[in-house]
Amino acid sequence: MAVDMNDYFNKKNGGGENKPKGEFVPPKMPEFLTNGSNKMTAIYVVIAAIVVMALFRPFVIINSGEAGILVTLGKYEKQPLHPGFHFFMPMIQKVIVVDTKVRVMHYNNEEGTPDAKGVRRSAPIQVLDTRGLPVEVELTMQYSLIPEKASDAIASLGLNWEDKTINPNVRDVVRSVIGNFKAEELPVKRDAIAVLITQGMQKAMEKIKNQPIAISSIQLRGIVLPEKVKEQIERVQIANQEAERTKYEVERAKQEAQKAAEIAKGNSEARIIEAKGQAQANDLIGKSLTTNLVKMKQIEAQAKFNDALKENKDAKVFLTPGGAMPSIWMDMKEPKQGATTK
């Protein structure tokens, strides 16, 4: 026997025989919803939303220095999610958060505490010089993932993009550069080698699809040479220092001899000038001594002599040969006597 569902719902809702047969009557809403007002309904909706948010987490927070890659059913969206709050559809979409801050890679033998976030360490780069001698190169590289190109990088390289790009390329570039130099040339040409390594890495990054990696800097920290090469370099340095010292001493002796010669030359010239000056002075004096001038000087000297005798009659007088200029010497200790003139 078939059961009429409409009759069942009519009886359930209290319709009875007054309701037309065959008409569908929907069930009544629960009393807690009809009698609890719109406020209760809003509370239940909020609770349901919180439960859904807690279970499925349909949102993501992108911090500064990060980029979000939205993946919809396996397809990577090219436009990155910038720092902020973003919603997505769980089970259909997911968000991959990648670090776009500057990262550091150290190639050295240093050991210590575990690396900080964004800092990695690797063994020194083992290379051969142009003669096949082994050399260790230590350097530090700073690089970052470009946010606008992060989606292409992760889609093609994966989350371990550093191991597929930075590490193999830097080792190849360093080997290529160092292979053009002799081991003993490396310390001298260190700056030029650092420039060549930087240029080589720039070209290597340009070959990667869409060029998603930016290189900030490369610092050449150290070059470890074989012991035999070190000893050879030390011997050469000692020989160069000795040669420089000898050269300095020779140059110094040369300068001192030149200085002595200049002094002797200067003294000789000074004596010549002095002799010439004296000769010129004597010549002028000789020309100026006329007969009248000599007589005048004799008269002046005689006048001074007479004045001296007036004041001191005890003076002894000595006349020079020729009688031109008398010299007067006064002696007060001897007995008084008159002045005598010869």
Residue matched to tokens 């009698």: 35
> Measured between alpha carbons, how far is 280 from 72 in angstroms, rounded to an integer?
114
Write down the pLDDT at residue 235: 73
Please state the length of the chain: 342
Q: Which domain holds residue 198?
A: 103-225
Please enumerate in sequence order all residues whose Cβ is within 8 A of that of 171, keeping only pairs 6 or more positions apart, or say none. 125
Whether 77 and 126 map to the same domain: the answer is no
> Measured between alpha carbons, how far is 88 from 72 in angstroms, rounded to an integer?
9
Q: Is residue 46 part of a domain?
A: yes
> Measured between alpha carbons, how far is 168 from 171 in angstroms, rounded to an integer?
5
Q: Which residues pair with 12 in a beta bridge?
A: none
Query: Residue 166 in contact with residue 105, Cβ under 8 Å?
Result: yes
Whether 179 and 72 map to the same domain: the answer is no
Q: Is residue 118 part of a domain?
A: yes
The per-residue DSSP string of 73-139 comes to TTEEPSSPBPSEEEE--TTTEEEEEEE-S-EEEEES----SPPPTTEEEEPPEEEE-TTS-EEEEEE
Whether 52 and 157 map to the same domain: the answer is no
Query: Residue 138 in contact with residue 221, Cβ under 8 Å?
Result: yes
- What's the predicted TM-score (pTM) here? 0.55
Q: pLDDT by residue (tens digit) across 38-81?
A: 677 777 777 776 776 667 678 899 999 999 999 999 899 999 99
Please enumerate in sequence order all residues whose Cβ is within 8 A of that of 218, keeping only pairs 6 or more positions apart, or say none. 139, 140, 141, 142, 194, 197, 198, 201
Could you tell me the CATH number of the domain that includes residue 137?
Answer: 3.30.479.30
Write down the pLDDT at residue 315: 60
Q: Is residue 337 part of a domain?
A: no
Q: Is residue 209 part of a domain?
A: yes
Whether 240 and 156 map to the same domain: the answer is no
If one counts the domains in the chain, the total is 4
Q: pLDDT by residue (tens digit) across 165-219?
A: 999 999 999 999 999 998 888 888 999 999 999 999 999 999 998 899 999 999 9
* Final residue before a domain boundary, out of 37, 66, 95: 95
Query: Residue 201 in contact with residue 170, Cβ under 8 Å?
Result: yes
Q: Is residue 336 part of a domain?
A: no
Report the DSSP pairing between strands 75-76 and 66-72.
Answer: antiparallel
Q: Is residue 340 part of a domain?
A: no
For the chain, residues with pLDDT lower than 50 are 1-3, 5, 8-9, 15-17, 32, 112, 323-324, 326, 328-333, 336-342
Q: Which residues pair with 66 in a beta bridge?
A: 99
> Measured between alpha carbons, how far is 194 from 183 in angstroms, rounded to an integer?
15
Write down the pLDDT at residue 202: 94
Write down the pLDDT at residue 23: 53
Write down the pLDDT at residue 243: 80
Q: Is residue 339 part of a domain?
A: no
